[in-house]
Amino acid sequence: MNSEIREIFHDADPLSIIHYPLSINIVSFLPKPTIAGHSSRSVPRELPVKVNLDRTSSGFCIGVQGTIHVAEQKLRETGSLYSLGDIVHNEVEVRRLEALGLITIDENTFSRIYNTSVLVRAHGEPPSTYETARNNNLRITDTTCPVVSKLQRTARLLHELGYQVVIYGKSTHPEVIGINGQCDNKGVIIKHADLSDPEETAALALDRKSALISQTTMDVPGFYELKANLEKLFSSHTGEEPQPWLAIRDIDITADMTGVRQMPQLVFKDTICRQVSSRNSKLRDFALSNDCIVFVAGKKSSNGQVLYLICREANPNSHFIEDVEEIDAAWFTLADGRKADSVGVCGATSTPMWLLEKVARHIEERYGNDAPATPEA
Ligand code: SF4
């Protein structure tokens, strides 16, 4: 990573939750609002007083910021760049970058292009991708997130040390495909922390030394639930009391690699990204402090799904959207018929801040206190 990108990472997100006032009152130029499910006559003034935009725990994480920054720089220089897979799990942002010249390709196309540059996104890629690039004389613009690179290295070393690498994650997620590639695709991927999927557990060899790691965007409680269930399962195989798997650090792996000290047979490393998990409690507080939550993320974003569920648990009046067209004014009237006093706008680590601002502005303009009342029909 170059120093410029590092600087951007360090500059990330210094602001706190702000009230999002319109600096210019443009509402009088807007079309009269029509609210889904209501006749225009019934459109009330009973609409949100204020819109709060969450700048603390929403918006791009450092990994995605780095990727987007590099892509924009390359596009400015060359006007065109291939991205292997969606650059970020957010359709709206992908479309914006495609308009600047980004071309999204799948693996099949990647294997059939030559002598050009291809961007590897923050999720990272398995070793086979780099091999294809070498064979096809492709220049890789590698924006793998440093957190993911570290995780890939951990997976590779554990595999080399003979551990059965158990990955808490989704088998189709690109990051997991990249991690598993480091283990010669022999990792055991488990998505169901309660071990309820027999296909997933059937892949486990209960007599092997094993190491549990995680996709960076999985939930922390799920990871520890899976660890506890693996402890029970592995001990039931030997007929012994469940023994806790031991937490390991990088230094333990190095010590084992160099023959200084062997690691135990059953170990785990919590590799969940704190850029994600540290947002959980802040987002929960944000959801609790607003009458209504509009959560903005791409439907394919697994981090978006996790964070949205946190919002919905804290505030059942939470709604998931990809863009402003999906907003329904009925959300801003509470179950008891009162208007919502506040609407909170927040999103995932893959949601650009400009999109969150657009949604906040849209709600403020259409449904804020200063919005024009709908005339009588
Ligand atoms: S969520 Fe964490 S690991 Fe994933 S891209 Fe963002 S900073 Fe990197």
Ligand 1 atom 5: residue of nearest CA = 63
CA of 229 to the centre of ligand 1 (A): 26
% the chain with pLDDT above 70? 85
Provide the pLDDT confidence category of residue 20 given band limits of 50, 70 and 90: very low
Instruction: Kindly state the tokens that stand for 68.
Output: 């987007």
Mean pLDDT of the chain: 87
Which residue of the set 93, 125, 175, 364 is catalytic?
A: 175
Whether the Cβ atoms of residue 40 and residue 335 lie closer than 8 Å to each other: no
Residue 205, pLDDT above cutoff 70: yes
The DSSP-derived string for 211-239 is: EEEE-TTS-HHHHHHHHHHHHHHHHHHHT
Ligand 1 atom 8: residue of nearest CA = 63
At 122 the pLDDT is: 97
Q: Is 63 helix (H, G, I), strand (E, B) or coil?
A: helix
Structure confidence by residue, pLDDT tens digits, 302-311:
889 989 999 9
Q: Which residues form ligand 1's pocket by a CB distance below 6 Å? A: 61-64, 122, 145, 147-148, 216-217, 273, 275-276, 349
Whether the Cβ atoms of residue 122 and residue 178 lie closer than 8 Å to each other: no
Atom index in ligand 1 nearest the CA of residue 175 equals 4
Instruction: Kindly state the tokens that stand for 14.
Output: 């210094």
- 313 tagged catalytic: no
What are the structural domains, with CATH classification, of the chain?
A: 3-61+275-367 (3.40.1010.20), 62-144 (3.40.50.11270), 147-268 (3.40.1010.20)
pTM metric for this prediction? 0.82
Provide the pLDDT confidence category of residue 368 given band limits of 50, 70 and 90: confident
Structure confidence by residue, pLDDT tens digits, 37-73:
333 333 444 556 799 999 999 999 999 999 999 999 9
Q: Is 3 helix (H, G, I), strand (E, B) or coil?
A: helix
- Any long-range contacts for 237-240 (C-beta under 8 Å, 24+ apart)? 237/206, 237/207
CA distance 332 to 36: 12
Q: Does residue 306 or residue 143 have the better pLDDT? A: 143
